[in-house]
Structure 1
């Protein structure tokens, strides 16, 4: 089956005064039509940079230095700004992390909703208005006509996030990238937003990429999961595989640090000791080794390839820590 989106060997470097920062290294990721694919990891692991690379909105000093991003077999990494602009908001759309900073406070909600629709030639102003009202209602905003004429400051955080979802849907894209779509929202609103995204995905046949650090979000909506650490994918698989039989020590650590997984005797959450290594300059070996309870000297010697734990379930480690039994993999002695 041909993937809707296929990322192969992606590397994103950022120039800094101290040297080149390897924000994303050798990333492979495939998203099928109708799939919800979650990219999970702690802050600074490369999730958002990966999303921005997909849609051609990298920061000024960031560059794609290797790999390809194929959207329906078209390499986005080779497109100029005009080509990317024709895709953004049209075939691909993004829901950004903080709607208050992404919505223009000087323009009404309606103006911002209809701008992309008109720019991509999807119809006239009447058609744009009708679609905007329909989508505002579909994402759960009542009194849609009133909201259409309001400014962002008049809306709560949850309503602004719903407006961002409606905006992403205006041109009927094939792929939506949602970057931390429930950040700073209370638990009840988070659940509503996630339910809305899932319903719209099923109803409209969308593919979703959801960027998050929240394993609860992943468990609730994901079909497949990519776990990232320090710019690399360290584990990929279906949500049941990654949650039920994690192969990488970092994935295990993430799961143990979630509320509800505390040791029954101590009632204390597990923590991952140490800190993320600097990504500036050349790095070899496992990037997690300085925090890993299963690290051995060989972990520092060379870059580590992904190993297969089971069908469609891979992890980047010399040892198999699934079921708590660290064993050597890939013929390494």
Structure 2
């Protein structure tokens, strides 16, 4: 049953991305072009520090799948692509392994095909300390992702309906985990208050996982016989808005996933304060429809183009993007107004880099 659900998730996720890149709030984040701001490409350094480690680039293959023979094949190819391009990679939810240990290889392959890379295990917030340690050991994980997916669970026909214990369980997971803990949403966003709460629990990274990418409410609604939850498909905050909401939060790294469609979106997310950007749906669709070699070439192109964008903007490092001027428009501006964020301040950052909004690094 779980294996069938994982296969369903892959099929529906790929279908969402086959029609091309849908509009999202990153379109309302525009770089101000300064024609004399460019730097020499030789001065570019894409490395970033994330979860206490140095990464080759501020981009990672976010957790997607595992738990069936088909998804094991997908994880194998994703791991090969990550190893070839030097990207970190996350597992899909490993809960299936605890329900059926025979699917262990569908997750273990992430480490087997990427023996020297940064690999992240993935569990839900109900995980016990014992499961945390077993999941980490299974793939020799460098970090642990805990996904928060209450909205998905509510729409999922066989999903959980009890979430009140999650804060207490997260605290226990942080204590039990021998590796840094990353807490991520699955497409509905993390608010500022949630990120601050996670920081106070000792969580190392908050991946805002905002609206704009793969829509798991839609996926689960498509799996319902009556498809009667369509009204909830627009739930949550976009990734761009989540990053703005987290402005000036210190003591926890911020990652951005959800609606990263291109290298430009990567640059936008980094400029809004993310340390790294995660991509799932776009890479999954490329792999399924066009194959492993095309996925590897696509990732390499993304890294090259991200560097070219940074060169034009005068940003030698990912952190330097937080000093680039941004025009915030449309619904993003309205979000800022309602949340008390100075949207206009982002348009003047290069003039007064020490003024609001402050560089979160």
* TM-score when normalising by structure 1: 0.36
Compare CA radii of gyration and give the structure with the larger one.
Answer: 1
More strand by share: 1
The answer to which structure has the higher helix fraction is 2
Q: Could you tell me the TM-score, scaled by structure 2's length?
A: 0.34
